Chain A
Amino acid sequence: MRNPQLNSQGKLQHLLTTEGLPRDIILAILDAAAPFAEVAEREVKKLPLLRGKSIFNLFFENSTRTRTTFEIAAKRLSADVINLNINTSSAAKGETLLDTIDNLSAMQADMFVVRHASSGAPYLIAGHLAATGREHIHVVNAGDGRHAHPTQGLLDMYTIRHYKRDFTALTVAIVGDVLHSRVARSQIHALATLGVAEIRVIAPRTLLPTDVERLGVHVFHNIDEGLQGVDVVMMLRLQNERMQGALLPSPQEYFKSYGLTPERLARAKPDAIVMHPGPMNRGVEIDSAVADGSHAVILPQVTFGIAVRMAVMSMLAGGS
């Protein structure tokens, strides 16, 4: 079966997941993002590439950072951006997802940026567009359920490459709530494709998917052991809103066992970087001294996220 993200010429048609995304396409996105990052330094932070294109931000689930950075990215590319607040829209009145898509397509949409609580929703939309002969409309997954958050995974790769250059010598630790994390899945697939030396996941058993080793990662339940000698620490947010049942005793207990403190970080390499996709729960998964410390690259991640999203959108929308 053809990769649903690529068209018949092997060009990127939709961005749905980092899983199975060819290495040369990941690298092309990272390469393209670098000059877009420079645009932020200019007096006029605007390029004409997506002039005349309409991009619909469809956020069926809350988001501040991701929605805002997609909006800034699209506006810096001169696209017209329409933000749909789904809670007050027709979906709340009972319109189906695909009816919403059909209606917005009739308004000459060129791209949908979709966040949805259900895994696979962006695939459903991409499949529907293909089945109805609307291949000129592109879909970007901005996070679907527990499945994938590819632009976050890619901006994390951009951040790692910015600070560490070569992926192949790196040991990377992903710490925290992997079970509920679409970010972690997108990171793991991208890191594996880019050929890092070792991927570790550090979490209590209750916050790991049962088959996590099959992704090619080394599992640690003890954070002190897991952080030994790592180059990159990727923290995950403890997703309270997705917790069902008693997976954890309490946030305080979690911090005692898995919170990233300066003492724990000292076990990583001296030049290790600390990343977090946000929003952070200070005092739950990360100590403020680390979040605001010299190893943290959390705010640069946000800035790089705009450039990576500009690169993705301009790679999707160009060419006829």
Chain B
Amino acid sequence: MSNTQRLANLPEAEALLASLVKTMLPHVGPDTALVGIHTGGVWLAERLHAALGLKLPLGSIDVSFHRDDYSSKGLHPGARASSIPFPVDAAQIVLVDDVLFTGRTIRAAMNELYDYGRPGRIDLAVLIDRGGRELPIGARFCAYTLPEPLPKSQELVLTRGSEPTPSILSLTLKDRHDA
């Protein structure tokens, strides 16, 4: 089965989001803090934050300063400031990203979080697990796992809609530029 055929069966991002909310709802409480990873993870975290009715303000992380390819690729252009608007010490944190792949971004995000304090617990929520892990990292909450890993030459990209439905999410399959 070709990728195009397999991904033709891929659920819509909005359906995956609804399923993710359902999975997470029994496990979140008033002390749950969401932190989205730029850029797709932040969009997803914004939607989850609203749907789960969380009280703690939403955080966002840019992993550029903790990327492990700095010595080969240099400083990632377009880095943004991270924003963690709650005390990290002892916090119950759910990291949110759109697509889980090698796990390197998640590793970098956890390092970044530790710059702000010592979290009580970190979980990971993703819309889709595309396989291809290079680190011992897994998601506690995952809406969909591809039946077999996507080739490295391809990537799944989360995009956001335009007016009048700017927050509507969708997934597209693209060729990777840096593969």
The main secondary structure of chain B at its interface with chain A is loop
Asked if A320 and B65 make an inter-chain contact with CB atoms under 8 angstroms apart, the answer reads no
Asked if A318 and B70 make an inter-chain contact with CB atoms under 8 angstroms apart, the answer reads yes
Interface size (B, Cβ < 8 Å)? 23
Asked if A31 and B116 make an inter-chain contact with CB atoms under 8 angstroms apart, the answer reads no
Interface residues of A in 36-54 (CB under 8 A from B): 36-39, 42-44, 46-49
Please, which residues of chain A bring their CB within 8 A of the CB of B83?
38
Answer yes or no: B79 CB below 8 A from chain A CBs.
yes
Interface size (A, Cβ < 8 Å)? 23
- CB B107 to nearest CB in A, in angstroms, measures 12
Please, which residues of chain B bring their CB within 8 A of the CB of A37?
81
Answer yes or no: B71 CB below 8 A from chain A CBs.
yes
Asked if B74 and A319 make an inter-chain contact with CB atoms under 8 angstroms apart, the answer reads yes
Asked if B72 and A320 make an inter-chain contact with CB atoms under 8 angstroms apart, the answer reads yes
Asked if B65 and A39 make an inter-chain contact with CB atoms under 8 angstroms apart, the answer reads yes
Please, which residues of chain B bring their CB within 8 A of the CB of A280?
none
Q: Mark B69-102, 1 if CB is under 8 A from A, else 0.
A: 0111111011111110000100000000000000
- CB B20 to nearest CB in A, in angstroms, measures 28
Bound complex: CA of A36 vs CA of B74, how far in Å?
Answer: 15
Asked if A35 and B74 make an inter-chain contact with CB atoms under 8 angstroms apart, the answer reads no
Answer yes or no: B62 CB below 8 A from chain A CBs.
yes
Answer yes or no: B66 CB below 8 A from chain A CBs.
yes
Please, which residues of chain B bring their CB within 8 A of the CB of A28?
77
| Chain A positions near chain B (C-beta within 8 angstroms) | 11, 28, 31-32, 34-39, 42-44, 46-49, 311, 314-315, 318-320
3 closest A-B pairs by CB: A319-B74, A318-B74, A38-B81
Q: Report 7 cross-chain contacts, Cβ distance below 8 Å, ordered by A residue.
A: A35-B64, A35-B65, A39-B115, A48-B66, A48-B111, A315-B74, A320-B71
